[in-house]
Structure formats: structure tokens, C-alpha cells
Amino acid sequence: MTEQIATIFWKDFLVGLRRKATFAAMMMFALTTMAALSLSMRGAVVENNFLAALLWIVIFFATSAGISGTFDDEQAAGTLSTLKIYAAPQAILFGKMLFTLASLIALTIFLLPTFLILFDCSAGNIFLLITTVLAGVIGFSAAGTLTAALTTSASVKGGLFPILLFPVTLPIFLPTISLTESAFNSETFSAELLIILLSFDAILLVASSILFDYLD
């Protein structure tokens, strides 16, 4: 199955290179949102807990803008059922999930330093910040890929996707915001929160794997 996962990932990667609109939508949404908020604050000092929440709100909506169409190519061509014949459902899910994760990692590589510069914020514990962001986007990738599969045939997918994604990812927001604040403040972080975050990532991965088998 590893070969099938790699093949599906590579297919989506090549399609993404040819059609850069999805990644461009995520980048432009994140940049426009951060620039507008930064300008509206006019250099005011902002508490780190607010900045941590703001960072994850931007990541969430940028994710929503970019990964809702994960299965659009197969839906448009009517080939999703055929694809399931030639590849295991788990291979399809994890191949697309890996591509989504790679896209979100690329997004955060651009977004994170830009956010720190625009909001004049420093990361006192850069290792904790990177770990938190990576754990958060893994959860978003798992939840987002499954939600995209659920909304593939929806006529109002653009509005439905974030509505379904938010309650699923809400348990990710709570620990990531607290851990990100600790990283900004150079505080001793709560190991329990990091364990909770990683545990919820694992739950999302397992739940996505189980539920995807029942999707047509």
C-alpha cells in the first residue's frame, strides 16, 4: 500500500504544480488577512495570547480556502469510484492527506515568519513553536481531508466545508493556542497539553482511516 500512497501523493503533487490556484488561494488569503489586521492595529502593543489565537485563526481559514477541493479532480471526472478499484481506500486517503500536509507545511513556512514580522512578535521558544505548528497542521490535514471527502458532492461546498471542519478541529485550537502563547512568552509549557494535542492528532488519523471506508 505504501507504493499506492506514494503514487497518489505524486499525482496530486504534479497536478498542483500545473494548477497553482489552490496554493495561491491559501497564500493570498493568509497574506491579505495578516496585512489588513497588522495595518488596523497601527503599531499597538498586542498581548501574546491574542496573537497566538490570531495565528491559528489565520491558519484555519487559509486551510479552509485551500483544501476543500481535495477530491475535486476525481469528482469532476467521475473517477473516484474507479480509483478505489485500483487503489485501496486507505491509500487514497493517506496519499491525499500527505499532499494536504505538505501544502500546509509549505504554507506555514511562508506564514510564520511573515506573521512574526508584521505583528512585531518574537518566538522565545522556537522549538516549541515549530512543534506546535507541525502537530496542529497534522490534525488539520487529517480532519480536512476527511471533511473534503464528505463534502465532495455538496452543491454549497465552499460554505459547508468550514462549518463542518471547525467543530472537528476545535480540540486542536485549545492546546495549540496555549502552547503557541507559551512559545511567544518563553514560558515553561504544559507537557499535558502537548500530549493532548498529539493524542487528538492520532484520534483524527484513526477516525479518518475508519470512516473513509464507508464513503462512496
On whether the CB atoms of residues 31 and 65 are closer than 8 A, the answer is: no
Helices (H) and strands (E) in the chain, counts: 9, 0
CA 148 to chain centre: 12
Average pLDDT on 145-167 reads: 74
pLDDT in tens, 78-98: 666 667 777 777 888 888 889
Asked if pLDDT for residue 135 goes beyond 90, the answer is yes
Cell numbers describing residue 147:
471533511
**Domain layout of the chain by residue ranges:** 2-215
Helix pair 157-185, 126-150: axis angle to 10 deg: 170
CA dist., res. 154 & res. 194, Å (int): 35
For the residues 183-187, what does the mean pLDDT come to? 83
Quick check: pTM over 0.75? yes
CA distance 36 to 66: 20
- % of the chain beyond a pLDDT of 90: 13
Q: Tell me how crowded residue 4 is: count the other CB atoms within 10 A of its CB.
A: 16
Q: How far lies 149's CA from each of 74, 161, 214, 216, in Å?
A: 11, 10, 11, 9
